[in-house]
Structure 1
Amino acid sequence: MIATAERLNSVQEYYFSKKLREVNQLLSEGKPIINMGIGSPDLLPHFSVVNAIQHSMNDKKAHEYQSYQGLPELRKAMAKFYQNQFNVSLDFDSEILPLMGSKEGIMHISMAFLNKSDEVLIPNPGYPTYASVTELVQANPIFYDLLEENNWLPDFESLEKLDLSKVKIMWVCYPHMPTGAKATKEVFEKLITFGKKHQILIVNDNPYSFVLNDNPMSIFQVEGAKEIALELNSLSKSFNMSGWRVGMVLGNKVFLEAILKVKSNMDSGMFYGIQKGAIEALNLDKNWFVSLNKIYIKRRDLLFKLVEKLGCSYDEKGVGLFIWAKLPNKEISSEEFIDEMLIKKNIFITPGTIFGSNGEGYIRFSLCIEEKKIKEALTRF
């Protein structure tokens, strides 16, 4: 047998990759499974976005290799989007790098900046990919606590007590996934100050800004943030384009040049038609987000009723695509609870533990599900 790389010993198959096989098996057996676990938008992109990719197919350069840095028009659209939505100025030519989804950006950033045995600050709870990618590049994850009593925000006093001498990157994600917590500008200012003090690259993963959120924020609204920070964003959640795989990493020229060294050796450019569709999406006005959020508000209100039927508590002010709910009974684990719901009620919910140990006692519901399905779930109780 050919032995696999040692780096695979430190990571497991992604939870949803495994769990969805189980869910799909139940569906194939005729079980009426309602999937409330996945944050994959079920709504369509704007019709003009679909038209843009269709009309691009006959362009002369549509089917050729594309630039590793994307079309200049795409980077200009991204710069304009950040100016209009966040009041943040970015140089389209040197401070924006399109990605095939922000998930690949997590890998590119890690490969560009981390050496073996470097350390990385990772939120607990937080997106599991931060830890798995850190381990794949043979760096060491250092988990920092996010707790409900602190509104799921970093505790800077506790962070300062850590040995930070080997820490190279700190991952943050606001609006926070999975809890829906929002950061204030003051929190972003503290993060930038912390990063500069300890020479730690602060990376804010920011894909949920426009879902049920009246005050979208970027870490680059803080003066001097470009000196020590990067920001990831994507069109997946904001524009219902998750399968298109369009993201971006933003930051100063030196940081992006390092990331491009990795990226240019791992792909051959984003498909032309997808870039054309992305440009159209980024140029949509705020009415797009208003119409999208009207749908999510209705779904959220129905899901609140389901959460209450389960006896769970929740923060009605949370933003983003999910409801983060606290279980009423500490004697049953999150995974035991969701397995019970799957078997007894044919409803799949995400256990909080996949996001870290601080997710124990919590479950997560996705808003990416039709109202009629939520109503059907309610009738099962």
Structure 2
Amino acid sequence: MTFDITLPRIMKVGAEAVRELGALVRDLGAQRPLVVTDPFMESSGTVDAALEALRGAGLDVGLYAECVPDPTTDSLEAGLAAVKDHGADLLVGFGGGSSIDTAKALGFLSLNEGPMREYKAPRNNTGPALPVVAVPTTAGTGSEATQFTIISDSGTDEKMLCTGPSFLPIAAVVDYELTLSMPARLSADTGVDALTHAIEAYVSRRANPFSDGFALSAMSAIGANLREVYKDGGNRAAREAMMLAATQAGIAFSNSSVALVHGMSRPIGAHFHIAHGLANAMLFPAVTEFSIAGAESRYADCARALGVATREHDDATAAQALVDELKALARDLEVPTPKSRGISAEDWERLTPLMAEQALASGSPGNNPIVPIAAEIEALYAQVYG
């Protein structure tokens, strides 16, 4: 059996790594980088470290700071104009997953014709794209190391998964110090996102020995540190561990896949504007419990990696301990239900059939240990509503 492995060409990991961004971009042969970020990163001054490093390397730097949460096809238009106006030869995606995903999409669309919907999964995109250097400021999405971008279709509200090496950053700068100011809610949601990546990569039907190692390592670190960064965001050791774990989880699922949790969470984000990590957290315990029978021993391994079971526990006991831990984690991190978040039962029920259809169309549920039918997905949506 063979499996394909893709990774960024260069990864700089550690405290103050962002200071090396300028030299990295210069060494990649670029002269006119465009930094792609969001308004908060600009107004808070967080992006200044990246801009200073690039300017210090003698580069002609542009700034596009209009990224929006959950980027849409409409939101890309201004970014494409900025890329053209600056004559950018490289993009620096700086921020959370939305900014990095936006940079990936802009890099691709700058060199390819047609609307983004033509490039969504199951198409595997291998064509040209402007190089992207990803600089994450949250410990969760792992987008700095993946060959995926998520863009919502403004015409249909479908949250499209676009895949392939065309979307893989050429380099990543992973500096945990950029996460020290993350608020507790964002720390929790992005941390659960990373844990979902790791577990789904490990139980996926496309798992392989390469992705397994990264997934298990990420689980161990997240199990030991997620509650701590939620409680004390200034804990540097915990922040560093979570940042590395998020990147490891990104490598894992980029070279394996995600599964049913992600397939179901994307429509929630698209229709109800719930942050991706939070939507995952809402679904995680129920979807895991549904899926265990399809890969009990793999889920048991996850429980052991998280530290909630040992090798002395049989697989059934360990797998159940994983479900119990995910429920406890949701309580400890104060994860709301869709109902407590303010989504009406009428709207939830009305959109459930469409969300189930969109989840299946994304392809991710097909990687799940138990591949669901639409009615089972609808039942899970009803279960998690609250």
Same fold (TM over 0.5): no
| TM-score interval, normalised by the smaller of the two chains | 0.3 to 0.5
Q: More helix per residue: 1 or 2?
A: 2
**What TM-score do the two structures reach when normalised by structure 2?**
0.32
* Greater relative CO, 1 or 2 (CA 8 Å, sep 6+): 1
Q: More strand per residue: 1 or 2?
A: 1
